[in-house]
Structure 1
Amino acid sequence: MGKRRVVVTGLGIISPVGNTLAEAWANILSGYNGVKPLTRVNADDYPAKVAGEITDFNPEQYMDKKDARKMDRFTQYAVAAAQMAVEDANLTINESNADRVGVWIGSGIGGMETFEKQFQTFMKRGYRRVSPFFVPMMIPDMAAGQVSIFLGAKGVNSCTVTACATGTNSIGDAFKVIQRGDADAMITGGSEAPITQMSMAGFSANTALSTNPDPNQASRPFDANRDGFVMGEGAGLLVLEELEHAQKRGAKIYAEIVGYGATGDAHHITAPAPGGEGGARAMNLAIEDGGLKPEEIDYINAHGTSTPYNDKFETMAIKQVFGDHAQNLSISSTKSMTGHLLGAAGGVEAIFTVLAIQKSMVPPTIHYETPDAECDLDYTPNESKKREINAAISNSLGFGGHNATIVFRKFKA
């Protein structure tokens, strides 16, 4: 028995570049900068002055006010993006199929905002004034849990927490659930709301964040003057379906997901392994899992965080995997426009990768001004470009040495 084929039939996004699929994709292609001055916390308290914040988001468009009050923002984002994705897929979930529709949504750090607010309440007023919803608002799996409840999906329900690789691991794991026959459809991706006092403090303390106060220079992946990543927030969710299931109901198909690779660096809690060898192994595994050869890949949505080590080592990993073909690849880091959405990054970037294939368009890496001799591939500087893309990969690399790669291919019946 061959592997079940899995396709993408729905997309939903809440992001710094737009809260609808059409808006986000149009902005990505135009090189719109979603990084703005930091407002969600007091910028004077931190060396980092900019962020990729969500604007014009009203949770009551997607849920009752009473329900919204019982959710951290990362869960609100997930519920909103999930509703968009399921609507986009025109997927009806009812008693006839609920137990074959699953949810796999990750979050890198979960409800940090809830944790901070409730801890302050506890310190000032004691445990009796802590919200009874504190724990279910805070824990990272509640995005998956609430999406399941809101949509009535009763199949596999899980949450991956692998730092910045979370979204990609979640999609890869959901892909395997369908491929092995445990579900016919999965709602999957990542969600994050990390622009909080302690998150900003922690990432500032470990010098991971850019301290460039100019929104038009702070997130500049692969540029020689990059100095750290910019915090972002949002959610990116996909509906994956078994091919025959999708075809039987006449669903539109964006692309096919064909490969998944996940590895561990076993090296350091924050720094990538020398030469990006863990990322290289993840890419090799994913391409092999997809039954492809490296030279069949046309585009890479890179992890591309705008940190000195990541961009250098990811470039080295790409060269290791692709050899001479690395010079023929189109590469971009959409984090140049969104900032780094941590656990949601892989979900949002998977959406952009799928659309790049479907639309034959490569998103740009904006803010690219000064070439780095150690980052010398085609990063699609500053302007999107037309290119036929038959197969593409999306990379995510996380603290703890987590590496994840997924492979999408243009759908052919």
Structure 2
Amino acid sequence: MSRLPVIVGFGGYNAAGRSSFHHGFRRTVLESMDTQARQETLAGLAVMMKLLRVVDGAYQDQDGKTLSLAEIDARLGEQILASTLVRRIEKSYLDVDAAHWQKSITLSETSGSQLSFIASRKQLPEPLPANWTVEPLNAAEVRVTLHDNCEFKVDSYRALPVKSAGQLPSGFEPAELYNSRFHPRGLSMAVVGVTDALRSTGLPWQSIVDRVAPDEIAVFASCIMSQLDENGFGGLMQSRLKGGRVTAKQLALGLNTMPADFINAYVLGSVGTTGAITGACATFLYNLQKGIEQIAAGKARVVIVGSSEAPINQECIEGYGAMGALATEDGLRQIEGKEQVDFRRASRPFGENCGFTLAEACQFVVLMDDALALELGADIHGAVPDVFINADGFKKSISAPGPGNYLTMAKAVASAVQLLGSDAVRQRSFIHAHGSSTPANRVTESELLDRIAAAFAIEQWPVTAVKAFVGHSLATASGDQLIAALGSFKYGVIPGIKTIDGVADDVHQQHLSIATEDRKVGAQALDVCFINSKGFGGNNASGVVLAPHVVERMLRKRHGEAAFADYCARREQTRAAARQYDQQALLGQLDIIYNFGNDLIDDQAIELGDTQVKVPGFAQPLVFKQDDRYRDMLD
């Protein structure tokens, strides 16, 4: 009997704010939330953004005046809304109007005179150019005379054609929340993001560790662009060209395995299975597939899955821009037909669009097998029974879409039909589309979704796309989709694609329903969501996510009413602890887990035997499992 991978915690950060307890989702559908939910989410964002401080549990402005939730909404609401979601890249982060680069210029001597300058001996290049003559002036300086032409590179500044991105909320700096030492931004985001996910479970991590064997915990997390800021590969590659020196950390911390490595080494202290799987923009789903396979096969009982990506830098913008993949200022100006561009509408899935919008995000989920979740009283937010991955076959262009996504989506829908029945899929399912906001995607993805709907007799299939609000976070993109799907299950709201005026004429939608306003369908009206992701290189993935009320029905049947009733009683304590964390987090008390250099395992204290291994710090031993898979080949 396969174990069901259930989601018992989730968290992270993107342009909408903190993901746990659906705050990020609530930001994207704020107009559909009740007053209490709206004001609570805005207050939490205000604290994150350093617009408010908290004194004795009360919100205060910078002048020390205590503000109610209603006053925060009235005074700061517009500023908070303008400083979240997709927007113009902020100058303090990257000056898109004056991006630094080096311009090559050629100097030539004028007729009858030679060009010369004075320089320090230490600044002379090695070896000297052949057309340089050096004359000593004193112990420290020389006169350099140039003969013929000489090329120099000088600092220059230019405007970037791409000016919008899905930045984290203004003023929120993950590295400030713990003792980070030259950590690249993506790794700082991973530390704070996975902490949010772990705290959201309402279960102390040690209590989980004590119930499982050391090798029954797994972590699968990665990024695709590595760490490209100055503390990672960016600094490594640029240091010599800038006249600097490579540090001892830049190469190691730049690796795209580091999100998983940091989580194991500094957050969990795990000795279990680990991996950093990449699949372009489908990377989160690639890691999720590995996680659910480990649980279903009984190889792991607890799995942390996630991604953390920080690609809002000049190199990524210029790289994707050179491919013609990003929404530029001129492109948006042509779409809108006016000189003043609304950068908040830069990401426009399935509408008139001109490219995707880069974003930064970290998203993590905590998975358990269903039996352990019931035993611990974990709160269950959904389940992921399947993720399907297929390549495109032969390709002419590595970045072009291909047939693999037809296979992943068809298999995902067929899987859900077998599990839940045709009626549930036809009437109570919806799609979180890849929805990258490129002209090619709006045609190709809508066509495949429309054809699959026809094949399974689905009419008016609801389609949404979270990239409209938070942009395209590359490796983390399908994590943004999954977290948003959990929000829809909780509140019964399918977000409308509110950055477009209408669906583009070339979008296939005979069997699809793409709305520009939020749809309130009710919390029990949604049974399953299909997460679709298409990545460069033919990396296609589609996941099946079950709503919590469906999972509860399944658990009652598997474990019995009595066992489920006992579980519900234990769950109340877990929910209370989780709510306590949420209330603290809204006040800015995020309690980041970062354990550097403590509780190290002494190799000599490991107890080795022929049936098990006992690891210091773990209550349960690692017992060697009986493996009879190939025994019949030797009998």
SS of 1:311's partner is helix
Per the alignment, residue 137 of structure 1 pairs with: 253
Per the alignment, residue 586 of structure 2 pairs with: none
User: 1:40-74: per-residue Cα shift (whole Å, max 9, x none)?
Assistant: 3231332111111113333356531xxx2242111
Q: Distance in 2 between matches of 1:380 and 1:295?
A: 22
The letter for the 2-side match of 1:280 is Y
SS of 2:544's partner is strand
Q: Tell me, yes or no, if the aligned pair for 2:175 and 2:189 is still in contact at 8 Å.
A: no
Q: Distance in 2 between matches of 1:78 and 1:384?
A: 32
Q: Tell me, yes or no, if the aligned pair for 2:175 and 2:188 is still in contact at 8 Å.
A: no
Indicate yes or no: 2:400 matched with 1:284. Answer: no
Per the alignment, residue 53 of structure 1 pairs with: 167
The letter for the 2-side match of 1:110 is S
Per the alignment, residue 103 of structure 1 pairs with: 219
- Stretch deviating more after TM superposition (309-318 or 299-308): 309-318
Where structure 1 has 5 or more consecutive residues not aligned to the other structure, the ranges are: none
Q: Tell me, yes or no, if the aligned pair for 2:11 and 2:363 is still in contact at 8 Å.
A: yes
Output aligned runs, 1:6-85, within 5 Å.
6-21=5-20, 22-30=22-30, 34-39=85-90, 40-44=93-97, 45-55=159-169, 56-60=171-175, 62-64=177-179, 68-85=180-197
- Runs (4 or more) in structure 1 with deviation over 6 Å come to none
Q: Tell me, yes or no, if the aligned pair for 1:3 and 1:179 is still in contact at 8 Å.
A: yes
User: 1:84-142: per-residue Cα shift (whole Å, max 9, x none)?
Assistant: 1111113433463343221111212120112222322222336xx21101122111110
TM-score normalised by structure 1 residue count: 0.92
User: 1:231-275: per-residue Cα shift (whole Å, max 9, x none)?
Assistant: 1101111011100111100000001111211011122311102xx
Size of the alignment, in residue pairs?
403
From 211, 214, 234, give the equivalent of 1:116: 234
Output aligned runs, 1:12-411, within 5 Å.
12-21=11-20, 22-30=22-30, 34-39=85-90, 40-44=93-97, 45-55=159-169, 56-60=171-175, 62-64=177-179, 68-94=180-206, 96=210, 97=212, 98-113=214-229, 114-125=232-243, 129-149=245-265, 150-211=267-328, 212=332, 213-223=341-351, 225-266=352-393, 267=395, 268-273=397-402, 277-290=403-416, 291-292=418-419, 296-297=424-425, 298-323=429-454, 325-375=457-507, 376=509, 377-387=512-522, 388-410=525-547, 411=551
Rg larger for? 2
In the TM superposition, residue 342 of structure 1 has moved relative to its aligned partner by: 0.5
Q: Distance in 2 between matches of 1:326 and 1:190?
A: 32
Does 1 or 2 have the higher relative contact order (CA < 8 Å, sep 6+)? Answer: 1
SS of 2:29's partner is helix
The letter for the 2-side match of 1:381 is T
Q: Tell me, yes or no, if the aligned pair for 1:186 and 1:239 is still in contact at 8 Å.
A: yes
- Stretch deviating more after TM superposition (85-94 or 226-235): 85-94
- Stretch deviating more after TM superposition (201-210 or 33-42): 33-42
Per the alignment, residue 120 of structure 2 pairs with: none
- Identity, % of aligned positions: 26
Q: Distance in 1 between matches of 2:438 and 2:175?
A: 37
In the TM superposition, residue 384 of structure 1 has moved relative to its aligned partner by: 4.0
Q: Distance in 2 between matches of 1:208 and 1:295?
A: 39
Q: Tell me, yes or no, if the aligned pair for 1:163 and 1:398 is still in contact at 8 Å.
A: yes
Q: Tell me, yes or no, if the aligned pair for 1:254 and 1:355 is still in contact at 8 Å.
A: no
RMSD across aligned positions (CA): 1.9
In the TM superposition, residue 189 of structure 1 has moved relative to its aligned partner by: 1.9
Where structure 2 has 5 or more consecutive residues not aligned to the other structure, the ranges are: 32-80, 98-158, 333-340, 556-635
Q: Distance in 1 between matches of 2:398 and 2:344?
A: 30
In the TM superposition, residue 75 of structure 1 has moved relative to its aligned partner by: 1.4
Q: Distance in 1 between matches of 2:415 and 2:260?
A: 26
- Stretch deviating more after TM superposition (396-405 or 323-332): 323-332
**Residues 49/145 of structure 1: CA separation in 2 closer, same or farther (3 Å cut):** same
- Stretch deviating more after TM superposition (263-272 or 202-211): 263-272
